[in-house]
A and B are shown apart, each in its own frame.
Chain A
Amino acid sequence: MEIIILGATRGALYSVIAVGFVLVFSVGGILNLAHGTYYMLGAYMTYIFYSLVFQGSSTAWLLLSIICAIGVVALFSCLVYSILLRKHVESLTYVMVMTLALALFVSEIMALLFGVSGSSVPSLIEGSASILSVKVLNQQLLLLPMALVILPSLWFFLKKTRMGQGIDAVAQQRDGAILMGVNADRALIVTYGLSASMAATAGVMVAPISSVVPEMWLFPLIKAFAIAILGGMGSILGAVIASFLLGYAEVFTCFMFSEHLSEMVALVLIVLVLVFRPSGILGKKDRMNR
């Protein structure tokens, strides 16, 4: 029973992280290794706004800090894209190296400013609930509605709005979309910002449960990787399904074996899937050859 609930919250968290990662890859071919950094920055910015800027202590202030944090991360990511990435976005090597170097850089800055020991952010909802005799933190449960709000609205954005349809078109057929008059560059920057703010949202939601430390960018990045590969690297639906698969697989390993081993699940999955079934478990083969 515990496995079901914990797996679901974990899957929900992962899906919000990974969908953005996959979206940026399919729209711009960008393998954004700084994705985890935006997650980390989401958490840090909440801490900065709540404890240092507003110095408030009510939930309202916390909510405001969260909104500011996500906004700042979105702005920052757009700056990163337009200053650092835009010029050489075609070069895979450049993008990977640049984003990873950036991730290290930001994490070192955070270590310098706030130390490596961790800063804490209060929960939106304190306390815990018992569901079917399983005790779960409220903040953790909050992850489920978060995913339930974000994912459908993302879908709505991509399918129903003009901007979103443009992004979707670029993801499916880049050249075709450009010929049809979609501004691919603008589609990419919007996607990049969107994906970063989704990662930041996830970071904000997790901040109260796990401590906010400079290394926290690595963990979501590896999960996003594994999920993207498991889901076939291009499909958002695949990513969502893969998120929950990974979430359950990890919780299961954690219960059966140990906490440490569950951290390996994602890594081993990356290697196994890529070596034996490079198209992903849920993906189509032709995605690989593009």
Chain B
Amino acid sequence: MMKRQVLVLFRNESPAALSILAAGFLFGLMSDNYFYIEVMMLAAIYAIFTMSWDILTGYTHELNFGFALFVGGAGYISGLANLHLGLPPYLTITIGALVTGLVGILIGYLTLRLKGPYFAMVTMAVAAILYKTSYLLHQYTGGEEGISGLGNLTPDPRYDFLIVWGITTIVYLLLRGYAGSRHGHILKAIRADENVAQCCGINTAYHKIETFALSGFLGGIGGGLFAHTQMQIGPTMLSGYISVIIVLLAIIGGMGTIVGPLIGAISLHLLNDYLRVVEGYRIVIYSGILILLVYLAPHGIFNLQILKKSKTLSFLLLGRRRTG
């Protein structure tokens, strides 16, 4: 019985995403190159960010331009709880994620009425307020330096890697399941026409807040993992830069697919790392490439029409499309 349910869980999944996730596990088990293990771990954390961003923005098209709020917020909370209260990482990460989940509910509730640019602006401003606050409260947050010396997840980076990669896989399956369930369908209906969705007897406000909370919670888990695997958290994780990078990675991957942001984030992060060979120009080249990709495929690589038209490709990359 159990086995069958697990099989059902995977049946509709994208083969491409599953094989990348599996390859990551294999890599973590086999490789002795700790440098690349660190790189892959960070890539997976970015994938958690972009996927949890995607569940809200990709499915409702309410543009969240302040995702750093969840990422950095949870990172700081779990970091501070670890540093000052001495709580173990698994507990602080949970606390941080719960707090950002609640913040998601609060912001979702307050910004329900807002659409389009106004929603984007408010999320941006809230994140910026937190960013500034981290400087104002520098005696606690370390100001520009951030806080460092946080406890790591496990003593061995390899186990860290396996845990992070495992959580990424769980987040991926969870979000795919959510998006494929009635919740995801309702979000798509809200995206198409919120009033008509209400005419279908659906409490659209509730569903938007629920998704906001989920997005904040999972983003918070990513933020906590970042803090404890990097063993430090600084204002960069609260800055507009990180928000924009998350938006860019998810959009280039393909909004509203979960797979796209997963693969987009991992591959682009690896590219970013590869560019270390030209360290001085890295950020310029990286952001230049991102701009070029957005320009060439504004709906993202996984939403390209060529992919959608070819049955094989679309199955390989996006998985079986559920209808009925």
A residues whose Cβ falls under 8 Å from a Cβ of B = 25, 31, 84, 88, 91-94, 96-98, 100-102, 104-105, 108-109, 112, 218, 222, 225, 229, 260-261, 263-264, 267-268, 270-271, 274-275, 278, 288
A93 touches B287 (CB 8 A): no
A104 touches B241 (CB 8 A): yes
Which residue, A92, A108, A263, A278, has most C-beta atoms of chain B within 10 A? A108
| A176 smallest CB distance to B (angstroms) | 22
Bound CA–CA A53/B187 (angstroms):
55
Bound CA–CA A260/B124 (angstroms):
19
B114 touches A101 (CB 8 A): no
A105 touches B291 (CB 8 A): yes
Closest to A112 in B: B284
- Whether B26 sits at the interface, judged by CB under 8 Å, is no
- Whether B103 sits at the interface, judged by CB under 8 Å, is no
A98 touches B121 (CB 8 A): no
A98 touches B295 (CB 8 A): yes
Which residue, A84, A104, A112, A229, has most C-beta atoms of chain B within 10 A? A104
B125 touches A270 (CB 8 A): yes
Q: For A91, list chain B residues within 8 Å (CB).
A: 298
A218 touches B294 (CB 8 A): no
- Whether B304 sits at the interface, judged by CB under 8 Å, is no
| Number of B residues with CB within 8 Å of any CB on chain A | 39
| B73 smallest CB distance to A (angstroms) | 15
A93 touches B61 (CB 8 A): yes
Closest to A222 in B: B128
- Whether B313 sits at the interface, judged by CB under 8 Å, is no
Bound CA–CA A98/B291 (angstroms):
7
For this complex, 29 residue pairs linking A to B, each with C-beta atoms less than 8 Å apart, are A31-B117, A93-B63, A93-B255, A94-B294, A94-B298, A96-B120, A97-B247, A97-B294, A98-B294, A100-B247, A101-B244, A101-B287, A102-B291, A104-B241, A104-B244, A105-B291, A108-B287, A112-B281, A218-B240, A222-B128, A260-B135, A264-B129, A264-B132, A267-B129, A270-B121, A270-B122, A271-B122, A271-B129, A274-B121
B117 touches A92 (CB 8 A): yes
B 104-148 contacts with A by CB, 8 A: 110-111, 113-114, 116-118, 120-122, 124-126, 128-129, 132, 135-136
Bound CA–CA A104/B63 (angstroms):
18
- Whether B283 sits at the interface, judged by CB under 8 Å, is yes
| B145 smallest CB distance to A (angstroms) | 16
Q: Given A88-B298, A218-B240, A278-B118, output 19 extra A-B contacts at Cβ < 8 Å.
A: A84-B295, A92-B117, A93-B63, A93-B251, A97-B251, A100-B240, A101-B291, A105-B291, A108-B284, A108-B287, A109-B284, A222-B125, A222-B128, A229-B121, A263-B132, A264-B129, A267-B129, A271-B125, A271-B129
- Whether B288 sits at the interface, judged by CB under 8 Å, is yes
- Whether B155 sits at the interface, judged by CB under 8 Å, is no
- Whether B290 sits at the interface, judged by CB under 8 Å, is yes
Bound CA–CA A260/B251 (angstroms):
34
Contacting B65 at CB < 8 Å: which of A25, A96, A98, A112? A96
Closest to A271 in B: B125
